[in-house]
Chains A and B, each alone.
Chain A
Amino acid sequence: MLGALSDPTRQTVLDLLRQRPSTVGDLASRLPVSRPAVSQHLHVLKSAGLVEEERRGTRHYFRLNPRSLAELRAHIDSMWRDALAAFAEFANKETGDHGKRKGNTRTDSTKRPR
């Protein structure tokens, strides 16, 4: 399963769909793989809820599921929050070890600009 995630073509498909919604043909023309292979990747990404399919007339467009972007944001947000909390703990301990001020750490999430 994790092997499937590290598939570079699938990552590239996600990158292309971040730029704009695309058909299987659009994607195949920009990738060194066949249309059936693109369809297979899209099927997996769609099953995982990362990609949505939309029909416009006779054409089928695939696009990134906006919910997956929100989830990505939440996860990267928490990654940096954890990283900064770890830094504050490290910095305060280093300072404390050198006989300087020592205090509690606290993190806070600042308001996001819009």
Chain B
Amino acid sequence: MGKEKETPAPIRQSVHVDCSIEETFRLFTEGFGEWWPLPSCAEGEKAEHIDIEPWRGGKVSERTRSGKEHEWGTVIAWDPPDRVEFTWHPGRPDDSDQTVTVDFRVEADGTRVTLTHYGWQWAGVATCASRFATFVAEQMLVAV
């Protein structure tokens, strides 16, 4: 990717799950809308449905309860069961400044899922991290 050279460093998180690597990859991608815990970035409510189209160039998108579709990103690598990678721009126009790479690796008793978010500094206040928006709002309230 060549993005490692950029500052600041990417954000990386990982988790262990008690499933085979194939099952983990399938649940992560097909089940995205079921496990995604955050409110819709578009309307502040839980997304009704989130879909990752399972091919390179496929769309990552959400559909809200009111039926609106919002694009979150585009799949740039689809390598089951090892890796899925997509651009990430919820709440913003399409750009490739931010990418999310999810690596799946077999480990004892299951699979390790490692997520790396490159270019997160471009997320700004429009990020789906609703808590950041709340944080900024609090800062503004304090400042006023």
A contacts, CB < 8 Å to B = 1-2, 4-6, 11, 14-15, 18, 44, 47-50, 69, 71-73, 75-92, 94-95, 100-103, 105-110, 112-114
A100 vs B121: C-alpha distance when bound (angstroms): 40
Known contacts being A11-B126, A83-B36, A86-B36, is A110 close to B135, with CB within 8 Å? no
B140 to chain A, nearest CB (A): 4
Residues of B within 8 A of A112 (CB): 9-12
B contacts, CB < 8 Å to A = 4, 8-19, 23-24, 27-28, 31, 34-38, 109-110, 113-115, 117, 120-129, 131-133, 135-137, 139-141, 143-144
A105 touches B9 (CB 8 A): no
Query: Which of A48, A73, A95 touches B140 (beta carbons < 8 Å)?
Result: A48
The number of inter-chain residue pairs (CB within 8 angstroms) is: 157
Known contacts being A47-B143, A107-B13, is A79 close to B122, with CB within 8 Å? no
A4 vs B117: C-alpha distance when bound (angstroms): 27
Closest A residue, CB atoms, query B115: A80
Query: Which of B12, B31, B114, B129 touches A79 (beta carbons < 8 Å)?
Result: B129
A14 vs B122: C-alpha distance when bound (angstroms): 9
A106 touches B16 (CB 8 A): yes
Closest B residue, CB atoms, query A75: B132
A105 vs B4: C-alpha distance when bound (angstroms): 29
Query: Which of B15, B136, B139, B143 touches A84 (beta carbons < 8 Å)?
Result: B15
Query: Which of B4, B115, B121, B139 touches A50 (beta carbons < 8 Å)?
Result: B139
A75 vs B113: C-alpha distance when bound (angstroms): 20
B13 touches A102 (CB 8 A): no
A41 vs B11: C-alpha distance when bound (angstroms): 29
Residues of B within 8 A of A69 (CB): 8, 121
A78 vs B19: C-alpha distance when bound (angstroms): 24
